[in-house]
Structure 1
Amino acid sequence: MESAAHVALISSPGMGHLFPALELATRLSTHHRLTVTVFIVPSHSSSAENKVIATAQAAGLFTVVELPPADMSDVTESSIVGRLAITMRRHVPIFRSAVSAMTSPPSVLIADIFAVESFAVADEFDMAKYTFVASNAWFLAVMVYAQVWDREIVGQYVDQKEPLQIPGCEPVRPCDVIDPLLDRTELQYSEILKLGMGIASSDGVLVNTWDELQHRTLASLNDRYLLGKISPPVYSIGPIVRQPGSKKGGSSELFNWLSKQPSESVIYVSFGSGGTLSFEQMTEVAHGLEMSKQRFVWVVRAPKVRSDGAYFTTGDGSEEQSSAKFLPEGFLERTSEVGFVVSMWADQTAVLGSPAVGGFFTHSGWNSALEGITNGVPMVVWPLYAEQRLNATMLAEEIGVAVRSKELPTKALIEREEIAAMVRKIMVEEDDEGKAIRAKAKELQRSAEKALAEGGSSYHNFARVVKLFGC
């Protein structure tokens, strides 16, 4: 009998990369009985990230190896993508040393999109090379096809008069181009091209979506000559989402409050671990929620700047004090019966899984979008950075599970009246659009469950991949 494969995963820093990598490792180890080692490049700046890593280590489902930090003292690059790419490049020799020290090196390497330069180590140790894309298939298409745009398009992509074309996929409007491609003169632009080429060099690509959600885009990606040369096969294995944590401890007050609310009456508001609003925009969101007359849970983070330009601090960190500093005067008192404000962090998967929650006001990061979809809740999408504009367009205009503001939140102040209208649209309005959005959310929830169930498309694709691993 052929022995089970030993699979290595390497994850770049940040919760958006770490959570999906650990969940993928969990599925490989528990569903398919593979030996899994996860190599993590920690950021060392997030207590939540440290807690997640410690929890994974304590669970003992797979081995977790924290790679030591690389020297970044001479790096002046400020963009997130640029720094991530340089960080992961400088960890390649550290990763090589870690693999060399193993008594039994892995036979398969799965790298997230920022770690594809570690494929050089896979080649040295005769490992199969796979990329894990924690985002969706449209984003993957942009990543790999950007090298074609680079050759064929003159000028900045955002200045183009017509949408950017990818064969077989929805065209990308210039305003939806992902952040690293916005300025072709910046370092992060060249870095994202390198990463796209690295993805295209892998033996296969695992993407966090499912066939029924993005059939046309996946079919295009599996055209082996999409790039004018042989491209790797793409396997949709999602949705891979975090499992809810405990509802006890520090969050017990929140979940006690949720348990007393009517079914699907609460909208959950969170802009992600890295999402912040301006002081002026936070004020409009607060008034918009109040005007909507809907119950809400709002994870509040300090705004980027005050109206006078000074940066906020949160004082001693107490929830009451920090929230009161930058929410409108009297807001907490006026909404005390219908709203629950949380400082900094909440267990999002557990909140979205509450029977009381019927909507999600989100930055439209793909992890959050999937958590909304798998819980059957319609969304207000509010893209802030990275590929979130692309996600928001897909969720609102292609899939039909969300509403969005008329202007981009990063380009204009979205006023309270429009915010209140969007919230009411997904929560209570009985017009055809509101009904269709809520129905679509339930339909996609069922579709996701079916894809993962035995005999479903993602179940089948996952089994195909594991078989390719040599099991």
Structure 2
Amino acid sequence: MDGSKLHVAILVSPGMGHLIPVLVLANRLATHHRVKVTVLVVTTVFSPPECQLLKLPAEQNPVDIIELPPVDISHLVKPDTKVGTQLCMMVREALPGFRSPISAMNHRPDALIVDLFCTEALPIAAEFNMAKYVYVPTTAWFTALTLYCPVLDKEIDGQYVDQEDLLKIPGCKPVRPEDVVDPMLDRNDQYYYEYVSMGNRIPQYDGILLNTWEDLDSTTLKAFKENEIWRSMVKIPVYPIGPLRRPAQPDGSKSAVIEWLDKQPNESVIFVSFGSGGMLSAQQITELATGLELSEQRFIWVVRPPMKGAADDAFFTTKTADSDDTSHYLPEGFLTRTESLGLLVPTWAQQVEILEHPSVGGFMSHCGWNSTIESICSGVPMIAWPLYAEQRLNATYLVEELGIAVRPRVLPTKEVVAREEIENMLRTLMDEKEGKKMRENVKKLKISAENALSEGGSSYNSMLEMLKHVTTNLKASEHC
């Protein structure tokens, strides 16, 4: 290395939910560990928030960002092609364009980190003699399911969702059939084959980075280290380096949302948002609005027009036509009747700033892991409302293992959650003894998260171990 900085490249697939954790990881490596970082982004039609993230001025963004040439997959997709399959196709088409910027670098990367949808970059990492790591920006439990899916594929006949027994994973909490991740919902769909391939490729990398920490995910992390089946299947180190999350980014002037929050009592407001990609049906929007009104709780609701297809329809863009005109899809008179209690925000909001505000006491969330991490690190308990991807798994973990969330009795993607149940969940979280206990639990996890990331903490040390691993491999290759 001739005394120069370690150089790490990170390849990321499209989507706000993928871009955020990668940029946070990149910033952490650059600012806390003095690593040169280049992020290479597989491009699509970016939403306004994504463009804002990618175009930050240099003083706010200590990493280099390279946007790979856009790819056209219109000839490959059908009207019913799943979002996850489209992501795999985009990355596959974009990978040839990945070689050129790497070749042109004076100091080529010493290591390559890829996200889950970019694991096909394995041969390119070998071609440029880069140490190679997979970044899974969610739980160890999800990672265990992904790694074990190729085994389940051989052992189980029929659809997973039709199984009567729990899906057993060595040393880990078993998975209920209804909680399986999206690609496992239909074993005949291409997305399932893509997912099984990911599970087969990951162990061929040099290590796995997880956006979790020891206290949050202790059972599965212990299984990776000690369980004999895992030790024989996955012979690479697993590095829990989280929680990595966006910092609050005040722009110097208070937004109308923050000014409204300043006028509310402490821990009195429920924040309702279903992430950058989540949408609800027209009927569910009506029930949610009515449930909020019946509960008489203060609220901020990031509201979008009803979906016309799948719950992840907004994945590739958070901008929807006519999204500011709520009169077409909210109950008549709702705005007038709730104007003293609630605030509607169209399409997108400053989530971290809102969750960190002392007036916010609860978060109705789709349970995407970025949002979950942000809520935990703000000490805010949740109403778990899973919509797609691994969110059902996350919701079960938050409710049953961590005790920091309440959830509907039915899956919101299978049935409409009724207004009465919504009202009850809101009152439970914000007013009742059960909600108080959740608030205590999440505040303990907040402290645990801060300790894990502090110098000498478990996640800080785990990142150091990973960088040491890169350096050791680099020195070994230089002597070959």
**TM-score range normalised by the length of the shorter chain:** over 0.9
Alignment of 1:206-221 (within 5 A): 206-221=209-224
Q: What's 2:32 paired with?
A: 31
> Among residues 90, 104, 126, which one is paired with 1:101 in the alignment?
104
Question: Is there any run of 5+ residues in structure 1 with no aligned partner, and where?
Answer: 307-312
TM-score, structure 2 as length reference: 0.92
Q: Quick one: structure 1 residues 39 and 304, their matched pair in 2 at CA, closer, same or farther if it must change by over 3 Å?
A: same
Contact (CA 8 Å) 2:209, 2:241: kept in 1 or not? yes
Shift of 1:400: 0.7
Q: Which amino acid aligns with 2:138?
A: S
Separation in 2, partners of 1:298, 1:36: 36
Could you tell me which amino acid in structure 1 is paired with residue 67 of structure 2?
A: E
Taking a change above 3 Å as real, the CA distance of residues 229 and 273 of structure 1, as seen in their structure-2 partners, is closer
- Partner residue of 1:414? 417
Q: Does 1:388 align with 2:391?
A: yes
Q: Per the alignment, in what secondary structure is the counterpart of residue 345 of structure 1?
A: coil
Which residue of 2 is the match for residue 242 of structure 1?
246
Query: Aligned partners of 2:114, 2:305: CA distance in 1, in Å?
Result: 33
Pairing 1:193–2:196 present: yes
SS of the residue 1:38 aligns to: strand
Q: Which residue in 1 is equivalent to 2:69? A: 68
Instruction: State the distance in 1 between where 2:57 and 2:462 align.
Output: 25
Matches within 5 A, 1:328-339: 328-339=331-342
Percent same amino acid among aligned pairs? Answer: 49
In the alignment, the residues of structure 2 paired with residue 436 and residue 60 of structure 1 have an alpha-carbon distance, to the nearest angstrom, of 39
Cα shift readout 1:156-207 (whole Å, capped 9, x = no counterpart) = 1111110001100000000001010111111000001111222121100000
What secondary structure sits across from 2:10 in the alignment? strand
In the TM superposition, residue 227 of structure 1 has moved relative to its aligned partner by 7.3
Number of equivalences? 459
What is the alpha-carbon distance in structure 2 between the residues aligned to residue 338 and residue 208 of structure 1? 36
Please, what TM-score do these two structures have when normalized by structure 1?
0.94
Q: Structure 2 vs 1, CA of residues 350 and 378 (structure 1 numbering), >3 Å: closer, same or farther?
A: same
Structure 2 gaps of 5+ residues are 310-318, 473-480
Contact 1:224–1:233 (CA<8 Å) still a contact in 2?
no
Query: Contact between 1:210 and 1:458, CA under 8 Å: does it hold in 2?
Result: yes
- 1:446 aligned residue: 447
- Aligned residues of 1:148 and 1:227 also touching (Cα < 8 A): no
User: Which whole-Å CA distance do the structure 2 matches of 1:419 and 1:279 have between them?
Assistant: 16
| Further displaced range: 88-97 or 41-50 | 41-50
- Tell whether 2:397 aligns with 1:404: no
Contact 1:374 1:448 (8 Å CA) reproduced: yes
* Residue of structure 2 equivalent to 1:5: 6
Aligned-partner residue type, residue 155 of structure 2: E
Q: Which has the larger displacement, 453-462 or 105-114?
A: 453-462
CA offsets 1:18-72 (integer angstroms, 9 cap, x no match): 0010010001111011111110112224122111111165634011100001232
| Aligned Cα root-mean-square deviation (Å) | 1.8
Alignment of 1:180-329 (within 5 A): 180-222=183-225, 223=227, 225-226=229-230, 228-246=232-250, 252-305=255-308, 319=324, 322-329=325-332
Structure 2 equivalent of residue 351 of structure 1: 354
Deviations 1:259-302 (A, max 9, x none): 11111110100011111111111111011111111110000011
User: Aligned ranges for residues 430-469 of structure 1 at < 5 Å?
Assistant: 430=433, 433-469=434-470
Q: Residue type matched to 2:243 in 1?
A: P
Offset, 1:247: 5.2
Q: Does the C-alpha gap of structure 1 residues 73 and 407 become closer, same or farther in structure 2, counting only changes over 3 Å?
A: closer
AA at the equivalent of 1:79: K
Write the deviation string for residues 359-390 of structure 1: whole angstroms up to 9, x where unpaired: 00000111111111000011000011111100
Moved over 4 A (4+): 313-317
Residues 92 and 64 of structure 1: CA distance in aligned 2, closer, same or farther (over 3 Å): same
Instruction: Measure, in 2, the Cα distance between the counterparts of 1:343 and 1:231.
Output: 47
- Partners of 2:431 and 2:198 lie apart in 1 by 43
238-247 or 173-182: bigger deviation: 238-247
CA distance in 1, matches of 2:380, 2:321: 35
